[in-house]
Structure formats: structure tokens, C-alpha cells
Structure 1
């Protein structure tokens, strides 16, 4: 009987149907009840091993040999993204003595079934060539690698050395009679990272496009999730991707805040993607127009358009024609970002909401047609149509002039983003954790993100 009931209780902890609270202490207590409970609780308990402070890392390292005997097949995700020494009065030099490349290599080799690895800026000093060789080349089960906020020269050099080791892409440029440039790419060796499916370099601006990013992409032909948001890439990277088979497999792509890529290169790449569900092209608050109207139409009529569930084209040239194209081609949208849209007619926004029956979130920041009166009109329209939308992101300056009305509350926070939100079917939603700028490539959800990843995703 226990064999039938317990598997239903101890379901995979990152699904929405779990029964047991995903609190480590609760799982640890369950694991101590008896042998049967231990068999079901331990795989969940060790599914993700996350380190927040140096002392927890030290305790884990000291027990690694014992853990390896019992749980080497259970650990799937090593998460260093939340590691921090803030408030501990420890210098970065002291931290480097606690978490060393040698210890990290030992841990990586101890768990052969490891599938995901996450790390942020606080530990980028331990990412050496030796660590990268073990992570990318020895950990054959690894499918997800998530670097975030890493901007040191050492980190950049280590990745460049890895790219040189596995083989780079030969890039040839030709000029025709009209002085137009033709670029060709040639791989000189077979891909070595075919096992990799999800890759993130979110806000890692120091990484070289030519010597690092393109070679790593060339060796990763099976990517489904790719986050290059905030990277210093140019059209060369997008042109390279467009010549590979990667676009046919991508389901999640972020090019947010990439300042050096052209509108045409973006649309050319997206037009070759056939399975995209999440696309983030957010340009930032204070940037010039990122994507022109013509190229936006190309994107919104691409093979993936009807699959889009999350789309952010904020700060692009969003005109009434663009809203019409969204209505005609993107009926599956759940999250939509159109901040800084050049819309002066409120009825266009009302018509857009009516045409998107699955929409739950929309970013209407810095749109000219909104003022206190028109905002109330939108809320009335949503109420009268029973629309399921529960979160509206708006400008701070506007929301400070408004009040709670008809179940809609203003989310007062200390971040840069402000929201109108409401409960849906008695369920309270955290509006500041609905629409992230960083791809959640592990797809565990905001609740299980470290504080540092939450900052980059929702607060930055």
C-alpha cells in the first residue's frame, strides 16, 4: 500500500501538483521517519544541492565522500547562483580559500548524473579552464549550464581557452563587386557539446563573440534554451546561428538588452525559428528603438508566432500595425511586453486585450495613451469582459497617481518595476515574479530561484 501512496505524495518537487511542501527541513524530517520514507524523500532532497553561504559549502565538502556513496546518482543540479558572503565580514580573498577550483572539480566528478549547473558573479573567480573542461567535457549528462552576471577578465579568458581547446569556427569574409560583404562559417572539427541543451550567459558582457560565444554555439547543435541577454554580441553571432540547425530546435531565446545587434539580423534569425515559445527582445528603458516596424512584422509572422506564449518586444517600434499583427498571429500569448509602444489611441489596447483571451500579464509602461483616467477605463473594460489577465506593469510615475480599485492593487516595492495586480480565482499572484528578463532555463520557477537570480530576472 505504501508503495502506491508514497510516490503520489513525494512527487517531483518542481511541478504544480505537489502535495508535500518543498521545504528542505520537511523533506529531511520525512527521510528520517523510516527506510521506506527515506527511499522516497532522499531523491527529492538531493535533487538540487544549493549553496548560499561558505559554511554550508564546507560542511558539504567534508561529507562529500559519504554523500557520494549514498546519493551520487540523486544529485541533478548544483546551484551556486545564490552563494554570497554579504554580511559575513569575509573578503573575496577569504572566499577563494573556501571555494577553490580543485574542490569544485572534485564535486563535479562526484555526481555522474549531474544535469544542471548554475553560478553567478559571486563565484566567477573559481571558474578556471580546468573547471570548464570537467563541466563541459567530462560531465556527459550535463544539459543545462547557467552563467549569470560574470564579468571578470579571468572568467572571459577561461572560456576563451576552452573554446580554443575544443576548436573554433573559421570565419571568411568576401566582398563582391558592389562592396557588399558575404560571410561564411566553417567548422574544423565535430561538435563536442551535443549533450548540452540549455545555455545562459545572461549579463556576461566581457565574453568575446568571435573567440568564445560562436565556438561554443557551434559545438552545441542541440540547444533548446539560449540566453544571451546583455552580452556584447553583434550581427555576426545571429548570422552564424541562422546558418545552423539550432533555430529549428530553439524553444526559448533571449536577446534582451543586446545593444549591438541590428533589427534586420534579429528578424532574419527569428524567421528561421519554428518552435519558439518564449522570445525576449526587450531593449531596456533608456535605449533607442531596437527593432524596426518592418522587422517586427517579419517576427510576428514567423513560423513560431502562433506558438509564442511569452513575448517581450519592449522599446521597439511598436505601432498600431504591430498590435494588429499580434492580434492576427499570436493568439496563444500569456505574457506580452510592449513598453514604450507608440500608441496614442486607448481603444487599440482594449482591442488587443480582447483578441488575446489567454493573456495573464502585459507590460504597458511608458505608453503615451495612458493617464489616470484611461487606466481606469482599461480596468473597467477588463472587468466587463471577464478577461483572465491578473498583472499589468506600468510606469512608476503613473501608478503613484492611482489607487486600488475593483480588486486591483498597486504593488508597492523597492524595485524598478511597478504593477497593478489582482487575485484570480482566490489565488494571490506575486506580480513582481511573473515576467522575468532572464530566462529561467532550469524552469523551476521564481520561487526556487536564488535571490541573485531573482534580482537579474525581475528587479534589474
Structure 2
């Protein structure tokens, strides 16, 4: 690369009558190794506009930028997907650069297109071609709008032909066609043989076929069978780091299987069992205590508080060695008492940044105030429908937090009924997201992340994007 450096002068410096002292000869910049260029450009991987500008700098930059631009491909509308699908018919080296395919926001809502027309746009044969052409594919995220397109042939190609796949994110799949396709798939994989005696369930597991899969989300896939689908998938993916089975029909058998027959407790860092109604208190506590690497735990319940995790089970979990490294914890709608908050403060205060306490049956404002003031690293807290918070007490709490400059809290989730009565505060604003959740959020945020993307009920499975969160969170059905 070269550049011409020009000193300022009153007239046209290219006029031959001007003194040559005003003109500096071209200076060649030092050679920049490709490794340095790649490192610099990697910091822009989530800013596509900046990358596109860098691609036009020169041929060297273009050579390094293009693979980054093509590494993540996301489609929200049929027209863009159709253009992409057409390129699959004439594959080029660019399709080999695609590592992340995000179809989680794909929809025809508002485009005056029927559900049937959507199936003509994204059909099974097209998806099979995409999976076979994108040989470097590492992650796939799909929403329920494309459920009919994921047939047995598509799933078979995804699991067996995409040898580099690490992340599979299904959300809200509940139709019979998908369930039948998954049943056929796991039957072909090989299911564990299950027996039962007085000591409990016994499994004979087949050899794991997908040790390379690290992240698996079956969020709200309510119709998938525990023994026919979920346990076989876990048996063949024994090295998971992220697992979201929120809303699935699983029991303690699944947790016990992972503890006794897989390596998952040793590798798992992110776990969501939110809204799993059939899990017992002791089953969850036993499993969490075995997962020594957890940094994210979501046991949010949609059951009445009196039937959710008990006070004793919560204290047992909070005092376990596992919780010393926890950064994100959601125990909303469980039996959260002051003793539970004390256990969190004693064992989890060092690294905890996000905490969900929705529907906690706490009637003392002093208990909440003292707890929050003793959590120096906390950045987000969910206080939705906590009984001690009303118009007066909430103003008192927020005022004390604002005066305490040492705290790190930038987002406070509250109920709509309460926030609708409260006014704005200095440097804070009221935010409503697509998921019908309401927040007080600081206006100035250093990281630039939106308040409604701070803490989703669905586990953050994907590794890409400026907020590292799938676009599925914009839909109210899975954002609450």
C-alpha cells in the first residue's frame, strides 16, 4: 500500500509554478503481515458495514475481508433467501466460507404471503443442497416458521453430512411432521437400550456419533419424546457445553442419564431447564452439583411458586461449589425467600452479573435493598411481580441505587403495571421489548446492548452477531 502525503498550502500544489518544497514524494508504507491484517479485521466481524467498506480498500483487504463477510449468513425475508438459494445451484468457493446459517428470524408475517407459499420458498430439497454445499457449516439456527421444511432427509443431511456442525438450535418445533422426522432420525442413529429394576433405570448406550456437537437447543420443542428423541440425541452428543431443553417434556431420567452415561456434566457451561414441569427439586439439585463448569443456569418456572423449587432445594443449589463461578442465574417463579438471597450473597456474589428473581414471595423492601447493595458485580436484575415493590417502595429502591455509584446495575426488569405508573428517572429510561417485558434501563451503555437483549428466557446458543443472541428473541412467544 502507498500513500501521497500533502502539506497544506494556499494554492494548488500541483501548479508547476509553485515551489517544489510544497510537494512530498510518495512514501511506501511498511509491509503489514497478513496475520496482523486478519487480527485487525477480526475486531470488525460483527460490523458488516465496516467490513464491506474494508473490502473496497484494495485487493489485499478484499482477500481477507470476504471470508469474514460470508462466515455468517442470516435471512429474515423470502426474497433474500431466494437469491441465496439460487447461488447454491452454482456453488462457488464462497459457499465454503459459510460457517453460521441463521434462519431464526425467517418469516412472511406482514408480507401478505400464506404459510403454504412459505413452504415453496424454503423447501426440503433446497435445504439439503445448502447443507451439502456449505461444507464448513458450524451452526444452524431455525425457528418454528420453517418447521415443515425440516423433513427426515434434511435432518439426516444436517447430522450425518455436515461434519463440522457444532451448534444446532431448534426453537418452538411442535408439529407432528417434525416429531416423526426426529423419531426416524434417532432410530437410524441408534437409541440406548433401556431397562428398569428396583435400583432404577439402566442404559446400554451406542457409540457416540456426534462428539463434535457442542451446543444444542430444543427450546419449547414440546412434542419430542424423552426416550425416543431427547436421550438418544444426548447419548450421541456427549460433549455439550450449551444445552437448552426449556419447555421440553423431560423427567429426572434425562438428568440421571447425562450424569451416569455421558461426559456432559464435565463440559457443560450453559444450562436451561426453564419451564420443565416434570423435573423434581432433588433431580435438578443433584445435576447442578455435578456441573462444575456452569456459568449460566436457568431454572425459571411457570408453575405456581408453591409447587416450584423449594426453599431447601434452592439453598442447596446456591451453596454448592458449582455456583461460585456462576455469572447468569434465573430462579424466577421459584420459592425465593430471604434465606435464599443470603445463600446467593455468601456464595455467588463474586462473578454474578445477571439475576432473575421474578415472582419471589418477598415482602420486605429492606431485604431487597440490602441484597442488591451487597452484589457489586450485578448488572441486571429481574424483580417482576415481587410483592414488596409498589409505586412508593420502587421509587425508594431506584433512588437508592442511583445514589450508590459503586453498583453496576444497568437494567431492572419490572412488571408492566408498575412501570406504567412510574416516571422516568435521571439517566434512566423505560424500555418495552417484543416479548412484552418491561425494563428500567440506563440511557448510556458502554457495550451498546439493548435492554431487551440482556437476559432472554431462551438460552443464548449462537456465537455470532453483535449481541450474540438469536433473532428469535424478537418474537413474544419465546421472549417471555
* 2:211 matches 1:194: yes
The 5 Å alignment of 1:164-183 reads 164-175=187-198, 182-183=200-201
| Equivalent position to 1:138, from 161, 186, 199 | 161
Say whether the 8 Å CA contact 1:272–1:303 is kept in structure 2: no
Q: Distance in 2 between matches of 1:123 and 1:238?
A: 30
- Structure 2: gaps spanning 5 or more residues: 1-30
Match of 1:39 in 2: 63
* 2:360 matches 1:341: yes
Match of 1:379 in 2: 398
Bigger drift between 314-323 and 81-90 goes to 81-90
Match of 2:223 in 1: 206
* 2:424 matches 1:407: no
The 5 Å alignment of 1:192-271 reads 192-243=209-260, 244-271=262-289
The 5 Å alignment of 1:21-170 reads 21-23=47-49, 27-28=51-52, 30-64=54-88, 66=90, 68-170=91-193
Say whether the 8 Å CA contact 1:433–1:446 is kept in structure 2: no
Match of 1:178 in 2: none
Give the superposition deviation at 1:250: 0.4
Say whether the 8 Å CA contact 2:380–2:410 is kept in structure 1: yes
Bigger drift between 104-113 and 85-94 goes to 85-94
The 5 Å alignment of 1:258-407 reads 258-284=276-302, 289-331=307-349, 332-386=351-405, 387-407=407-427
Q: Distance in 2 between matches of 1:286 and 1:419?
A: 23
Say whether the 8 Å CA contact 2:365–2:393 is kept in structure 1: yes
Give the superposition deviation at 1:368: 1.5
Change (3 A) 1:286 1:86: farther
Q: Distance in 2 between matches of 1:443 and 1:364?
A: 28
Change (3 A) 1:445 1:55: closer
Change (3 A) 1:329 1:378: same
- Structure 1: gaps spanning 5 or more residues: 16-20, 176-180
Give the superposition deviation at 1:424: 4.8
1:374-399 Cα offsets, whole Å, 9 max, x none, are: 21222232233311101111122222
Match of 2:42 in 1: 11
Say whether the 8 Å CA contact 2:359–2:383 is kept in structure 1: yes
Bigger drift between 146-155 and 36-45 goes to 36-45
TM-score scaled to structure 2, two decimals?
0.87
Q: Distance in 2 between matches of 1:357 and 1:450?
A: 29
Q: Considering only aligned residues, what root-mean-square deviation do their CA atoms show, in Å?
A: 2.3
Q: Distance in 2 between matches of 1:458 and 1:430?
A: 17
Bigger drift between 330-339 and 429-438 goes to 429-438
Aligned residues: 446
Say whether the 8 Å CA contact 1:438–1:457 is kept in structure 2: no
TM-score scaled to structure 1, two decimals?
0.91
Match of 2:450 in 1: 430
Change (3 A) 1:78 1:412: closer
Q: Distance in 1 between matches of 2:177 and 2:436?
A: 31
1:389-422 Cα offsets, whole Å, 9 max, x none, are: 0111112222222112233322245642111122
Change (3 A) 1:194 1:428: closer
Change (3 A) 1:168 1:453: same
Q: SS in structure 2 opposite 1:406?
A: coil
Bigger drift between 238-247 and 215-224 goes to 238-247
